[in-house]
Amino acid sequence: MAGPYTPTGGSKVATVLRVTSGNFLEMFDFFLFGFYASYISKAFFPTGNELASLMLTFMTFGAGFLMRPLGAIFLGAYVDRIGRRQGLITTLGIMALGTILIAFVPSYQTIGLFAPFLVLIGRLLQGFSAGVELGGVSVYLAEMATPGNKGFYVSWQSGSQQVAVMAAAIIGYVLNLTLTPAEMGDWGWRIPFFIGCAHRAVPFLHSHVSRGDQGVSRKEVPADHA
């Protein structure tokens, strides 16, 4: 029986970095919405009441979390069927689509109610993707871990998330230092989402991950890896 995919030497380090870089970008995209909620509320939910606009924005932000269980169920089964590598590329593509949608949607003043509706769709796509990315990356790292080091390998998944949150915050801090409040409200808040659109290049990173894991399924994994 075939065992789980286990790259060796330098390729193991490179694989960990590739996989966690995808996870980094995914979480970067997912949490941007919360960091820039005040600007998003003015662009897409202009109710005339600042608090009401902000509440609508956070409800849209929360909708992404509601989609995560569905993403875990449906995309999890899909990843088991087609393999980790292709599955991770698919989830990154879905997250990228949601981020691109939010980044490029015109404001409420330009297209009316279509603006918040399209932002909501983008957020739902992000949540659907995030539902399986974390588990998929964790399983991938656990399968390639050396004996006695599973915890260390899987911890890179969580570590990449925290770095993503810090990166989003630092970018926001720099933008607020360099742009005026008017520029931030008009177009500056979109810059981090454009950076998040780098997801389009991420499948390149994952395409170099060895194809050896594609045939791995639960029935092929020995008991100590289950």
CATH number of the domain within which 28 lies: 1.20.1250.20
- Tally of CB atoms within 10 A around 124: 19
The pLDDT tens digits along the chain (226 residues) read 444 445 555 577 888 888 788 788 878 888 888 889 999 999 999 998 999 999 999 999 999 999 999 999 998 888 888 887 788 788 888 888 998 999 999 999 999 999 999 999 999 999 998 888 777 788 888 888 888 888 898 999 889 989 999 999 999 999 999 999 999 999 999 999 998 876 555 555 555 454 444 444 444 444 444 4
Residue 19: name the closest of 131, 126, 154, 118 by CA. 154
Residue 214 lies in a domain: no
Q: What share of the chain is helix, strand, coil (3-state, %, to 5)?
A: 85, 0, 15
Residue 3 lies in a domain: no
Residue 2 lies in a domain: no
Q: What is the pLDDT of residue 182?
A: 92
Residue 157 lies in a domain: yes
What's the domain range around 36? 13-209
Residue 39 lies in a domain: yes
Residue 23 lies in a domain: yes
Number of domains in the chain: 1
Residue 223 lies in a domain: no
CA atoms within 13 A on the CB side of 94: 22
The CA distances from residue 104 to 29, 98, 155, 165, 210, in Å, are 14, 10, 34, 22, 34
| Digit-coded pLDDT (tens) for 68-80 | 999 999 988 888 8
| Digit-coded pLDDT (tens) for 108-157 | 999 999 999 999 999 999 999 888 877 778 888 888 888 888 889 899 98
Residue 7 lies in a domain: no
